[in-house]
A and B are shown apart, each in its own frame.
Chain A
């Protein structure tokens, strides 16, 4: 990985270090594993992509589980129901 800096030949066809630092900075707020690292510039592109994919898959699973739970809890999705009123006041 330390060789990456010396290979600047075709920077258009590789994820450059600058772009990687930028990406890691943005993803850091979402990915706890990367946030805990002390030297973010050493994180490999491969690792960042893997963590991103894991995170997205985790979020997809959560949406699926929550849809399950909500389908059992919600008898109807009536706008006038007390649930809707409580939700509106809490979230808006």
Chain B
């Protein structure tokens, strides 16, 4: 099995867990907007949790998601578990030097830093590039899985509606 398929598998496992836990913590039926936010939040947490390594982006994403789950004790438990797992790994961000570059490169590098979670914390350009590549792989896996689920669900949705 390819590495990319393993990434997707890991994401699926984590996503089902996070969806289920968020769903259990809800008392009242959610409106569409609340449901969308829950799906997106659980998906982001799952993507970061699936990355069982010491990347900046996954830790930044988890702490960013923490701000959105103030009212959901179950979600906070998931985040605490993920944060503890990541906290134990050593990671030195202190490297030598900023890099100066032509204005076009610098401007676009700043843009890239704003797009990758935690990117603004990374000073070393090699590190930023490695984080970006890693982040892109997991982002693609997230999109591929969600797209497949949406395709499956639009088919089975029709089937279950017929049975009601």
Instruction: Give the contacts of B16-53 with A (CB-CB under 8 A).
Output: 16, 19-20, 22-23, 32-33, 35-40, 43-44
A50 to chain B, nearest CB (A): 5
Contact, CB under 8 Å: B104 / A23: no
Contact, CB under 8 Å: A92 / B23: no
Q: Which residue of A lies closest to B137 (CB)?
A: A30
| A33 cross-chain contacts in B, Cβ below 8 A | none
| A59 cross-chain contacts in B, Cβ below 8 A | 136, 139-140, 142-143
Contact, CB under 8 Å: B142 / A63: yes
Question: What CA separation (Å) do A32 and B130 show in the bound complex?
Answer: 20
| A82 cross-chain contacts in B, Cβ below 8 A | 156, 159-160
Question: What CA separation (Å) do A84 and B111 show in the bound complex?
Answer: 38
Contact, CB under 8 Å: B136 / A15: no
Is A36's beta carbon under 8 Å from chain B?
no
| B140 cross-chain contacts in A, Cβ below 8 A | 30, 59
Contact, CB under 8 Å: B35 / A30: no
> DSSP majority for the B interface?
helix
Q: Interface residues of B toward A: which range?
A: 35 or more
Q: Interface residues of A toward B: which range?
A: 35 or more
| B9 cross-chain contacts in A, Cβ below 8 A | 91-92
> DSSP majority for the A interface?
helix
Q: Can you list, as one digit per residue, whether each of A39-78 has a CB less than 8 Å from chain B (1) or not (0)? A: 0000011100110110111011011101111111110111
B48 to chain A, nearest CB (A): 13
Q: Which residue of B lies closest to A81 (CB)?
A: B160
Contact, CB under 8 Å: A73 / B115: no
25 A–B contact pairs at CB < 8 A? A13-B97, A14-B101, A19-B126, A26-B133, A30-B136, A30-B140, A44-B104, A52-B132, A56-B136, A57-B115, A59-B140, A64-B40, A67-B36, A67-B40, A67-B146, A68-B36, A71-B33, A71-B38, A74-B153, A77-B19, A77-B39, A83-B153, A87-B153, A91-B8, A91-B9
Q: Which B residues are closer than 8 A to A by beta carbons?
A: 8-9, 12, 16, 19-20, 22-23, 32-33, 35-40, 43-44, 97, 99-102, 104-105, 108-109, 111-112, 115-116, 125-126, 129, 132-133, 135-136, 139-140, 142-143, 145-150, 152-154, 156-157, 159-160
